[in-house]
Structure 1
């Protein structure tokens, strides 16, 4: 019998990750714009990293989560050299589905906020299916 995700991941789990913005994190470098500020794809990657970190300690052996849905409002520009922090909070568990609220800040300013949904999967089976060997 598979471990119940609800027990492994109680609502309220949180994690925080930081990034000091470099030239390679900018919209120019990522191809998402032509300005030298933190690019939206990097903001999203940071938010997702926080969701992964929130579940890491309680992750059942052989399992992982994969992102399935994102809603993100990128509200403010962040220049190279600034440090941003992403915080993810698990706000809902429905079977294997995990819903997080995420906030990215630069000091006291909210840079981005939204939701990220992830699904708990068997790592080996997922990779086998993705590579066509299952």
Structure 2
């Protein structure tokens, strides 16, 4: 893959829309006790948007793994509220792909923002390096 440039460039983007459920709340996820979108779920949605942006673009046998996240959760979203998360490639260096992510509610208020870095890896080689689970 080193000799093959990635078909990903700044501006590549994707978005996903999610309706907050009880399972998405801080109370359900153990990140607080309020019935609002939990930060761990916001983070998962941000990562899912970055994966979606790369979907169908990587060569066979390749995938991406998250390596770094910086996320600000700025505004609460209630159960039943709609969250739209957009991820856009802002930087590519070899196998490293950095995304800007933003999350907005239905009124286009900024719920969260940040940056997610992913690295493109060979799927089989990556899994071969994962240690076996403790017996």
Flag whether TM exceeds 0.5 (same fold). Answer: yes
Q: Which residue of structure 1 aligns with residue 86 of structure 2?
A: 87
CA deviation after TM superposition for structure 1 residue 131, in Å: 3.6
Counterparts of 1:123 and 1:104, CA distance in 2: 29
Aligned partner of residue 47 in structure 2, secondary structure: helix
Q: CA RMSD in A?
A: 1.0
Unaligned runs of 5+ in 2: none
Q: Which residue of structure 2 aligns with residue 40 of structure 1?
A: 39
Aligned residue pair count: 130
Aligned partner of residue 33 in structure 1, secondary structure: coil
| Partner deviation per Cα, 1:98-132 (whole Å, 9 max, x = no partner) | 00000000021010000000000001111121145
Counterparts of 2:97 and 2:45, CA distance in 1: 17
Q: Which residue of structure 1 aligns with residue 5 of structure 2?
A: 4
Is 1:71–2:70 an aligned residue pair? yes
Counterparts of 2:112 and 2:55, CA distance in 1: 23
Unaligned runs of 5+ in 1: none
After the TM superposition, which parts of structure 1 deviate over 4 Å for at least 4 consecutive aligned residues?
none
